[in-house]
Structure 1
Amino acid sequence: MALRTSTTERQRRLGAELRKLREQAGLSVTEGGDSIGMGRAHLGHVEAGRTAIPSDKLRMLCRAYRCTRAPLVEALVAMGEDKGKGWWTQYRHVVGQTALDLAELEAAADALLSYESLFIPGVLQTPEYTRSIFRSSQDERSAEDLEGAVRFRGERQQILIRERPSALHAVIHEAALHVRFGGAAVMRKQLLHLIRMAEPPHITIQVLPFTAEGLSAFSTPFLMVESHGSALETVLVETPATSLYVHESDAVAKYRSRFARLAAAALPPIDPAVSASAHESRDSLSLIQHLLYILQED
Structure 2
Amino acid sequence: MPSSTTPTARRQRLGAELRKLRERAGITATEAARLLGGNQARISNIEAGRYGVSAERVRTLSCHYDCSDAELINALAGMTGERKRGWWEEYREVLSTSLLDLAELEHHGTALRTSHTAGLPGLLQTTDHAREVFRQVVPTLPPPEVEHRLSFRIKRQHVIFRENPAPYRAIIHEAALCMRFGGPAVTKGQLTHLLTMSEREHITIRVIPFKAGGYPGSGQPIYYVRGPVPQLDTVQLDQAHGIVFLDSEAQLHKYRQILDRLETLALDVPESRDLIHTIAQSL
TM-score > 0.5 by shorter chain: yes
Using the alignment, how far apart are the partners of 2:244 and 2:142 within structure 1? 28
Going from structure 1 to structure 2, the CA distance change for 1:149 and 1:214 (only over 3 Å counts) comes to closer
Does the CA-based 8 Å contact 2:113-2:168 persist in structure 1? Answer: yes
Using the alignment, how far apart are the partners of 1:53 and 1:244 within structure 2? 25
| Structure 2 residue 283 is the aligned partner of structure 1 residue 292 | no
State the Cα deviation string for residues 101-151 of structure 1 (Å, max 9, x = none).
Answer: 100000111101101111110000000000011112124444343223212
The residue type equivalent to 2:251 in the other structure is A
Equivalent in the alignment of 1:75: 75
CA-based RMSD? 1.8
Deviation at 1:201, TM superposition (A): 1.8
Using the alignment, how far apart are the partners of 1:39 and 1:54 within structure 2? 17
Using the alignment, how far apart are the partners of 2:276 and 2:57 within structure 1? 53
Going from structure 1 to structure 2, the CA distance change for 1:63 and 1:167 (only over 3 Å counts) comes to same
Please report the TM-score for the alignment, with normalisation by the length of structure 1. 0.89
Larger mean Cα displacement after TM superposition, 238-247 or 182-191: 238-247
| Structure 2 residue 242 is the aligned partner of structure 1 residue 254 | no
Deviation at 1:80, TM superposition (A): 2.1
Does the CA-based 8 Å contact 1:218-1:258 persist in structure 2? Answer: no
Using the alignment, how far apart are the partners of 2:217 and 2:166 within structure 1? 28
Equivalent in the alignment of 1:167: 167
State the Cα deviation string for residues 9-43 of structure 1 (Å, max 9, x = none).
Answer: 11211111001111111111112222222211110
Going from structure 1 to structure 2, the CA distance change for 1:285 and 1:197 (only over 3 Å counts) comes to same
Please report the TM-score for the alignment, with normalisation by the length of structure 2. 0.94
The residue type equivalent to 2:263 in the other structure is A
Larger mean Cα displacement after TM superposition, 158-167 or 121-130: 158-167
Equivalent in the alignment of 1:143: 143
Say which SS state the counterpart of residue 66 (structure 1) adopts: coil
State the Cα deviation string for residues 193-240 of structure 1 (Å, max 9, x = none).
Answer: 001101122110011122223415442211010123666201111201
Deviation at 1:55, TM superposition (A): 2.3
Does the CA-based 8 Å contact 1:46-1:53 persist in structure 2? Answer: yes
Equivalent in the alignment of 1:9: 9
Say which SS state the counterpart of residue 80 (structure 2) adopts: helix
Say which SS state the counterpart of residue 110 (structure 2) adopts: strand
Going from structure 1 to structure 2, the CA distance change for 1:26 and 1:64 (only over 3 Å counts) comes to same
Aligned ranges 1:1-298 → 2 under 5 Å: 3-83=3-83, 85-228=85-228, 232-269=232-269, 271=270, 283-295=271-283
The residue type equivalent to 2:148 in the other structure is G
Going from structure 1 to structure 2, the CA distance change for 1:217 and 1:143 (only over 3 Å counts) comes to closer
Does the CA-based 8 Å contact 1:110-1:229 persist in structure 2? Answer: no
Going from structure 1 to structure 2, the CA distance change for 1:100 and 1:220 (only over 3 Å counts) comes to same
Question: Unmatched 5+ residue regions in structure 1?
Answer: 272-282
Q: How many residues align?
A: 283
Going from structure 1 to structure 2, the CA distance change for 1:208 and 1:84 (only over 3 Å counts) comes to farther
The residue type equivalent to 2:56 in the other structure is D
Deviation at 1:249, TM superposition (A): 1.6
Using the alignment, how far apart are the partners of 1:74 and 1:106 within structure 2? 20
Using the alignment, how far apart are the partners of 2:40 and 2:125 within structure 1? 47
Question: Equivalent pairs: percent with the same residue?
Answer: 39
Using the alignment, how far apart are the partners of 1:181 and 1:197 within structure 2? 19
